Amino acid sequence: MTHHFPIRKIIHVDMDAFYASVAQMDDSNLRGKPIAVGGGGKRGVVSAASYEARKFGVKSAMAGNLATKLCPELIFVRPNFERYSEISKKIRSIFYDYTDLVEPLSLDEAYLDVTKNKKGNPSASLIAKEIRERILNEVGLTASAGISINKFIAKVASDYNKPNGQKTVNPEEVLAFLEELDIRKFYGVGKVTSEKMYQLGIFTGLDLKQKSLEYLDKHFGKSGRYYYHVVRGIHNSEVKPNRTRKSLAAERTFSENLSSEVFMLEKLENIANEVSRRMTKSRVAGKTVTLKIKYSDFTLQTRSKTLTYYISDKSIILDTAKDLLYQEKLSNSVRLLGISLSNLNTESKKMKDVSRSQNKVEQPSISVQLKFEF
C-alpha cells in the first residue's frame, strides 16, 4: 500500500536550553556551570535549566528547593524576557532569509516550510545546517533541528540529536521511524496520556498503529483521531506564518498563600492592569474573561464569563474578574491568580482566511516510493 503525503519540506528549529544559554552567553562566570533560570526560594520554580544542571536531574517546572537538593551547586538566575525577545528577533530574521513561511511556537522554537525557499536550495537538511551555523556565528548560541515531511515528525526529530545536532527523517523512512518511536516521544502525548497508553499496552508507535480508529476514539476522545493519523505519517497542518492569538493572559504566584478575597483584590488589580496593557499593545479586545485560581493544594479552578461586547479596558476586566472571584466561596487558601481574555476580535478575520483557504487547490501528493531530496 502506498501512502500519499503532501510534498512538504519542514524544518523545526529548537534552541538548546535557550534561557539558560543566554544567561551563560551574557555572563562568562556562568559558563560550564549548572544554572537554573527562575526562583530558588521556598516558592520558586525552575523555568529553564542548563545542560550542566540537567545532568543532576534538574528540569523546567520543578520546584526550586527540590532542584537545589538534586544539585547543591545550582546557581539561580533571574529571567530577562527583554533580552530573550531581542535575541529571538535576531534568530527569526535569519529564518526569514530562507522562507517567509515561519511559524514561531515560542521565543526559542519555530517551524519553517522550505519546500520552496529563497535560496533555491532543494535540500532541507543543508538549509537546516546552514541556519544552525548562522545562529551560532551571528548570535552565539547553539540550536537543534528536525527535518521531515510534516510538522509533527520535524518536531519529534529535533529532539533526537540535542544539543547542537539535527536529524532528517526522509519520506521513505517516515513509517519505520514512527513505528519504533517510544510513545512518550510523540508530540501531544503528555505524562497522563502516556501512562494511560502504557496501561492499554501501547508502548511504541507500532503498538499504537495496531489500534483501530474506533478503539482510539473510545479511549482518547477527539485526540484519538490525531494519534491514529500521525502514527501513519499523516499530519497536514500547514506552517502558519501569522498565527492568530486565541487569548491573552497574566498570572501571579504569591509568596504567601492568601486566605481571603479581600487580600486578593489588590493582586487582581495588578493582574488586570497587565492584561489590559498586553491587549493594548497587541491591539486586540476580547469578550470572555476567565479567572484562574490555583489553591495551596495545587488544585486548579477556572471561572469564566462571556460579555456581549469586546473589552480591553482595565476597569471592566477587573470588575468582571471580581464578580467571578465572589461567584462562589473559595475552597482553600490560594497560591496563584490569573486572568485571561479570550474570544478575541481576531477570530472573525481568521474565519475569512479559512473560507479563502478552502477555495485553494489541494496540493499534489507524492508517493513514498519516489526519491525526494531532503
Contacts of 106 (CB under 8 A, 6+ apart): none
Joined together, the cell numbers standing for residue 339 give 486572568
The catalytically annotated residue of 73, 82, 103, 109 is: 109
Cα distance between residue 48 and residue 54, in whole Å:
10
Joined together, the cell numbers standing for residue 259 give 486566605
Distances in Å between the Cα of 62 and the Cα atoms of 46, 79, 150, 164, 291 are 5, 15, 32, 24, 24
Q: Which residues of 174-194 are buried (b: 16+ CB within 10 A; e: fewer)?
A: bbebbeebebebbbebeeebb
CB of 303 within 8 A of CB of 291?
Answer: yes
3-class secondary structure, 177 = helix
251 has which bridge partners?
338
Q: Is 109 a catalytic residue?
A: yes
H helix or E strand, kind and range, residue 257 = strand 247-258
366 has which bridge partners?
5
Q: How far apart are the first and last CA of the chain?
A: 23
3-class secondary structure, 77 = strand
What does the angle CA 332 – CA 336 – CA 340 come to, to the nearest 5 degrees?
Answer: 120
78-87 CB contacts, 8 Å cutoff, 24+ apart:
78/37, 79/19, 79/37, 79/38, 79/47, 80/22, 80/23, 83/22, 83/26, 84/18, 84/19, 84/22, 84/108, 87/22, 87/139, 87/141
Cα distance between residue 352 and residue 28, in whole Å:
50
Q: Give the side-chain half-sphere CA count within 13 A for 348.
A: 6
CB of 74 within 8 A of CB of 35?
Answer: yes
Catalytic machinery residues: 109
